[in-house]
Amino acid sequence: MAGTQADGRIARGNQTRQLILRRAVEIASVEGLAALSMGQLATELKLSKSGVFALFGSKEDLQLATIRTAVTLYTEHVVQPARDLPAGVGRLWTLCTAWLTYSRERVFPGGCFFYSVSAEFDAREGKVHDALAAARSDWLSYLERTAREAQLAGELADDADLPQLVFELVAFLELANAESVLHDDFTCYDKAAKAVLNRLRAHTTDPSLLPAHT
């Protein structure tokens, strides 16, 4: 009986933690990680402040947990749609279009979570900065690895500068996100998709592997 009660408390604690973190990523994407407050989250979600503080030892712990939750959501919406595709330029294209959909559909209300909060911590030191830097490095490395696999599959030219290509693709994606958030103008996503497609078609060995247009 005691074990069943303990399991129930753990399950309720995990549910409460996920509820808090889902709201925390929404707030942080708009107002920043520094705006997170355990007291405010407790009041807004009608939870006891002591219970929220018991789940997160400090504001930094809450911020780090919020980043981990954002990574999970990002992976679900951006990486997963392309994961089962064969190595090639099509997988790289799908990653880019999934990113644009993730931003356009406001998985996070402030647009891309990582674009939003990175500027807040890019010049700081500490665990939060390091967690954000690691998340960005992981994304860029994944894109470059995907491009490398497409090159090995013979679908990207042997002389393609893959780090440069990835840099340019990410610039297109992030500019669309920034413009849409700042101006509430979503036409930039179509422009970004066209730019990405043109860049990939310029480097692919077989343009028929990609759509003719967006």
Residues in the chain: 214
Domain for residue 22, yes or no? Answer: no
Domain for residue 150, yes or no? Answer: yes
Question: How is residue 204 annotated by DSSP?
Answer: B
Look at residue 139 in the predicted model and tell me its pLDDT. 98
Look at residue 93 in the predicted model and tell me its pLDDT. 98
- Across residues 180-185, what is the average pLDDT? 96
Tokens of residue 134, six digits: 């690691």
Closest among 92, 183, 195 to 145, alpha carbons compared: 92
Domain for residue 143, yes or no? Answer: yes
**pLDDT surpasses 70 at 11:** no
Look at residue 42 in the predicted model and tell me its pLDDT. 94
CATH of the domain at 195: 1.10.357.10
**pLDDT surpasses 80 at 198:** yes
Q: Which domain holds residue 110?
A: 57-209
Tokens of residue 136, six digits: 């960005």
**pLDDT surpasses 60 at 170:** yes
- Across residues 40-65, what is the average pLDDT? 93
> What is the percentage of the chain residues whose pLDDT exceeds 70?
94
Say how far apart CA 121 and CA 98 lie, in whole Å: 26
- Across residues 58-75, what is the average pLDDT? 97
Say how far apart CA 164 and CA 205 lie, in whole Å: 18
> What is the percentage of the chain residues whose pLDDT exceeds 90?
88
Look at residue 214 in the predicted model and tell me its pLDDT. 82
pLDDT digits (tens, 9 = 90+) for 85-122: 999 999 999 999 999 999 999 999 999 999 999 999 99
Domain for residue 104, yes or no? Answer: yes
- Across residues 5-33, what is the average pLDDT? 85
pTM greater than 0.85: yes
H-helix segments, the chain: 2-31, 38-44, 49-55, 59-74, 80-83, 89-104, 113-121, 127-152, 162-183, 187-203
pLDDT digits (tens, 9 = 90+) for 128-159: 999 999 999 999 999 999 999 999 999 999 99
Domain for residue 13, yes or no? Answer: no
Domain for residue 38, yes or no? Answer: no
Say how far apart CA 105 and CA 189 lie, in whole Å: 11
Confidence band, pLDDT 50/70/90 cuts, at residue 12: confident
Domain count, the chain: 1
User: Cα-flanking dihedrals φ and ψ of residue 53, to 5°?
Assistant: -65, -30
Look at residue 166 in the predicted model and tell me its pLDDT. 98
Look at residue 6 in the predicted model and tell me its pLDDT. 54
Mean pLDDT taken over the chain: 94
Query: Which of 15-19, 72-76, 209-213 tops mean pLDDT?
Result: 72-76
Domain for residue 31, yes or no? Answer: no
Domain for residue 99, yes or no? Answer: yes
